[in-house]
Amino acid sequence: MSAPVGEGLNEAPNLFTPNRYQGLNVLVTGAAQGIGQAVAQRVAYEGGNVFLVDRAELVHEFATELGTATGVKVGSATADLETWEGAEAMVAAAKEKFGNIDIAINNVGGTIWAKPFEHYAPEEIEKEIYRSLFTTLWSVRAELPALIDNGGGTIVNVSSVATGGINRIPYAAAKGGVNALTGALAKEAAHHNVRVVATAPGGTLAPERRVARGPGPEGEQAKAWYQEIVDQTIDSSLMKRYGTLEEQAAPIVFLASPEASYINGSVLPVAGGDQG
């Protein structure tokens, strides 16, 4: 059974930094569950106002519970970030709520299918690229003018060490694109006082998703291909385990914060030693 949306919101995250985000307006995509939800929770407990975006309606329930638990300003919107129109509407809604955006954390993405590349249908490849590259590409394109107009800010993209993984080549290609976007835009946007950085998570333990990314493995062969991903992920990690949501959220929130003001263009692997 999946956990309630707001489970644990009345307890502060471990080792958080009070007031680190005081007075800052933070946009978080993919915020209804998983890493995005953990990031939003930590930012709110550190004093930041958060605007939460997801394709799932349950993001509104989470936003209400987070605002009640922390006392910060919390807004929310549903958007299809695989489209330019969705990304543009997201930024407009965040600006309407808060007036400006200081930080954008782009977290949407994730493998839909798990299988060797020769078994992907062309339409499946396109869907993987739209889910894990275009969601970030469109989001950044929509966020950047708002940050420039605000006199600067920070973009944190969530990539993946799966750029070196098996049985998800389209996802690996998409996240490789996120890495390239991060490095190139950091150079281009620096004179606008905009930092662009990323983390590259490895395998992460999380509660059962309330909104699934895809159909899930069906049949013995599909389950075996997925198990190969799990085995390779653990084997590639020097720590021989999956990470936790807090272990993923903490470096994201650090990189987005003023404490990381001299870090730019970097992609930080957060995968127990797996460099991707």
Q: How many CB atoms lie within 10 A of CB 266?
A: 15
Phi, psi of 106 (to 5 degrees): -100, 110
Report which of 78, 110, 91 is spatially closest to residue 27, judged by C-alpha positions: 91
Q: How many CB atoms lie within 10 A of CB 242?
A: 18
At 269 the three-state DSSP class reads strand
Phi, psi of 74 (to 5 degrees): -130, 130
Question: Is residue 171 annotated as part of the catalytic site, yes or no?
Answer: yes
Distances, alpha carbon 47 to alpha carbons 68, 174, 182, in Å:
13, 33, 27
- Catalytic option among 130, 171, 226, 242: 171
Would you say 196 and 186 are in contact if contact means Cβ atoms under 8 Å apart?
yes
The sign one gets for the Cα dihedral 217, 127, 177, 136 is negative
Token pair of 56 as six digits: 């799932």
Residues 6+ apart with CB under 8 A from 35: 107, 158, 201, 204, 206, 245, 248, 249, 252
Would you say 76 and 51 are in contact if contact means Cβ atoms under 8 Å apart?
yes
Report which of 208, 225, 251, 211 is spatially closest to residue 114, judged by C-alpha positions: 225
User: What amino acid positions are annotated as catalytic residues?
Assistant: 171
